[in-house]
Copies of this chain bind each other. A is one copy, B any other.
Amino acid sequence: MMDAVTRSLEPLAQDELTNINAYWRAANYLSVGQIYLLDNPLLKQPLTKDHVKPRLLGHWGTTPGQNFIYVHCNRVIKERDLNMIYISGPGHGGPALVANTWMEGSYTELYPNVPMNEVGMQKLFKQFSFPGGVGSHVTAETPGSIHEGGELGYALSHAFGAAFDNPDLMVCCVIGDGEAETGPLATAWHSNKFLNPATDGAVLPILHLNGYKIANPTVLARMSHDELDSLFVGYGYKPYFVEGSDPEEMHQKMAATMDAIADEIKAIQDDARNNGNMTRPMWPMIILRSPKGWTGPKEVDGKKTEDYWRSHQVPFSNVVNNTQHLELLESWMKSYRPEELFEDNGDLKPELKALAPEGARRMGANPHANGGKLLRDLSLPDYRDFAVAVERPGHTMAESTRVMGNFLAEVMRRNLDTANFRVMGPDETASNRLGALFDVTERTWMAETLPEDDHLAPNGRVMEILSEHTCQGWLEGYLLTGRHGFFSCYEAFIHIVDSMFNQHAKWLKVSKEIPWRRPIASLNYLLTSHVWRQDHNGFSHQDPGFIDHVVNKKADTIRVFLAPDANTLLHVTDKCLNSRDFINVIVAGKQPQPQWLSMDAAIKHCSAGIGIWDWASNDQDGEPDVVMACAGDVPTLETLAAVDLLRQHLPDLKVRVVNVVDLMTLQPKEEHPNGLSDREFDILFTPDKPVIFAYHGYPYLIHRLTYRRTNHKNLHVRGYKEEGTTTTPFDMAVLNDIDRFDLVADVIDRVPGLGSRAAYLKQFVRDKLIEHTEYIHKYGEDMPEIRDWKWPYNS
């Protein structure tokens, strides 16, 4: 491959060089125009302040570099008929992507109101960062994008996610040197240990050493050449440096490098695909060092601007009131010589148009960047075939997630041929009892192996890396390019990706409003090893707050399911795998637990999302005295055990048990599509009886969801209140007052007129709590009567 570089240090003939540079100038011109101009797009009239936007918003600094990369991608796409998409890590350089997709025609195809002429160019300019127009970033509105780039850190994991199982795809991933300082990006480089050269596509990372962040040099730009080289060799790449500022020299260097790299990637893939060489290759990457705000004003008001942080956003703002700035803007824009680039009518000159790829090869029109277009339904088995036989509620024991794992394994098996389903998780697939997957596939692994290794293979479809960020980024990239997946995670540590969840939810919200964006598969989380069973790891592993975080996002984008047992979990999982454009959060335990519902009962229950468990209630002949509501597996268990105590000790008390699977049913119908009407809610919860609600997470959330309901004033919620340590499972419930004994006491405190038997029962449960604490401190495990408790009724 070294030969290729040596051979063609100046691969561009003069006319090609001239045209490529002109194409780049045009993109730069269009970028500056978007940031500054309201009108007079071709500068046919002398520029006046009326032509300039009153508020100047945008990021110039990264833009010329991205324009430079884009035209060189175009060149290799066209010469080699490559199937390439472009991920803009510094997505705040939105003008670059808008300009380039307009120049190649893909923009106008999707937005015919922005034609390729002077009128269209004026609209293109005005709409940018303008009310009612388009955002300043590479938003979902931007053709060819799967990555907004506003929150930095995820470009590279998105790129790898897009490349998995897309053997013909090449993903150009531009990484800003600011972004390169983030943690998620810093570890995403290791994704090369998970990329299979035979069956996956290629990622071409381009680290753009632009030199500066908002007001500061970047760390990577201020390491020595040797350190940089060493760092990326250490990460397992072969870095190619393209450095400089002279446009003609840089075009030659970049073209030569892109040629060498395209050859090299092809050679790597051929070697794997034809010769079966499955050793991990040193994938090429580019380190592009170019001036921030390249080709922009060298100085503004006597201060260094090009190649400095002052170019980060708008290099100078006060154009309306400062004639010098107005002149500077005009001379800057004219420095690109627009008359050589555009026809009089505003269309791009034909010799430049000819540089862009055609049809779906244009990066703005590549269907992989509108993944819903390529999405194929999963082949799903009948989830009912995996049901746990439940003859009698609460007597069969099962690990819910293990049952789910059997189902997921069959899903995996049925979709091996189409290669469009992956399961992600930070090293917890087996721990989370999804090990059945390893009967069907292996863990993806391209790093070194040892003879004793089990379930590692280059073509494995379970992806484990101890980085929730990378798992989430890979999965997002995979889904956004039209495939399916599942992310299982310890509940507490899913907070690590709170902000990534935010960005994906925002992307989905905007995408749904864009007619040409096709629905994609939902992002499905299984949160397990949850708060109530982190008795062994202790306090740091106990946090059920991701649900609270999720429900702040748009109601039609998010759903939360709390599966009380295995059969409900099966139903919910099937539902989530079938859904589109949602983020589904499933919470379910992995420990052995009583099974409550037969498959038929589970289907009925889950279809409503919430319901009275008649078999557990004794209010069939009238109104209940108290409603015992529960959501989550441990709260359900404790609620039923409390109901048992109540029925034994207070047989006249009428208890209704309501179980919630779909948490969003609690919200008013106007707030969430799954919400109950007020009438439905009142029927379940009564208008006026005490409701004791045992909830999986932080109790406030239930109040937040139900504060408008008729009976809210009688709602008493128990949940996790940040109490916990390394202790026994039942003690976790006790520490947070959500155990059976405390729930019984809650009922007695809230149902009036229960009399002396209730007073006796209250003393009984108080004594039990003391007995419990003494027992566990002595023996270190829960009392047998707790561990062995079974629902004692037939139905």
Contact = CB atoms under 8 A, between A and B. Distances in A.
A731 B132 CA distance: 10
Contacts of A700: 551-552, 704
Interface in A112-156: 126, 129-137, 139, 148, 150-153
A449 interface: yes
Contacts of A773: 131-132
A92 B537 contact: yes
A181 B230 contact: no
A449 B221 CA distance: 10
B537 A150 contact: yes
B151 A493 contact: yes
A603 interface: no
A35 to B, nearest CB: 12
A462 to B, nearest CB: 10
Interface stretch (A327-335, A539-547, A574-582, A678-686): A539-547
Given A213-B427, A223-B236, A552-B698, A499 B509 contact: no
A345 interface: no
B178 A427 contact: yes
B183 A139 contact: no
Interface residues on A, range: 35 or more
A467 B234 contact: no
Interface stretch (A263-271, A688-696, A720-728): A720-728
B234 A137 contact: no
Contact of A726 (B136, B464, B536, B545): B136
Contacts of A777: 130-132
A491 B700 CA distance: 23
A234 B236 contact: no
Contact of A233 (B135, B153, B227): B227
Nearest to A53: B780
A466 interface: yes
Contacts of A450: 217
Contacts of A467: 181-183
B215 A193 contact: no
B183 A430 contact: no
Contact of A427 (B215, B235, B464): B215
B135 A427 contact: no
A190 interface: yes
Contacts of A224: 448
Interface in A438-474: 443, 445, 447-450, 452-453, 456, 464-467, 469-470
A727 B136 CA distance: 10
A746 to B, nearest CB: 16
A453 B554 contact: no
Interface in A497-521: 498-499, 502-503, 506, 509-510
A549 interface: yes
Nearest to A703: B707
Contact of A498 (B136, B218, B464, B495): B495
A424 B377 CA distance: 48
A538 interface: yes
Interface in A154-208: 178-179, 181-190, 193
Give the residue among A53, A216, A510 with the most B Cβ atoms within 10 A.
Answer: A216
Contacts of A712: 707
B448 A222 contact: yes
A179 B131 contact: no
Contact of A495 (B55, B190, B502, B776): B502
Nearest to A701: B704
Contacts of A53: 780
A480 to B, nearest CB: 15
Contact of A499 (B179, B190, B213, B495): B495
B780 A54 contact: yes
A186 B465 CA distance: 13
Interface in A541-576: 541, 543, 545, 548-549, 551-554
A490 to B, nearest CB: 9
B466 A539 contact: no
Contact of A217 (B152, B236, B453): B453
Given A231-B231, A506-B722, A545-B549, 7 more contacts: A186-B190, A215-B427, A217-B449, A304-B452, A495-B498, A553-B722, A703-B703
24 contacts: A54-B779, A54-B781, A137-B538, A137-B726, A152-B466, A178-B466, A179-B466, A182-B187, A182-B466, A186-B190, A193-B223, A213-B466, A214-B428, A214-B430, A216-B464, A217-B449, A217-B456, A231-B231, A231-B233, A233-B234, A498-B499, A502-B545, A506-B540, A707-B712
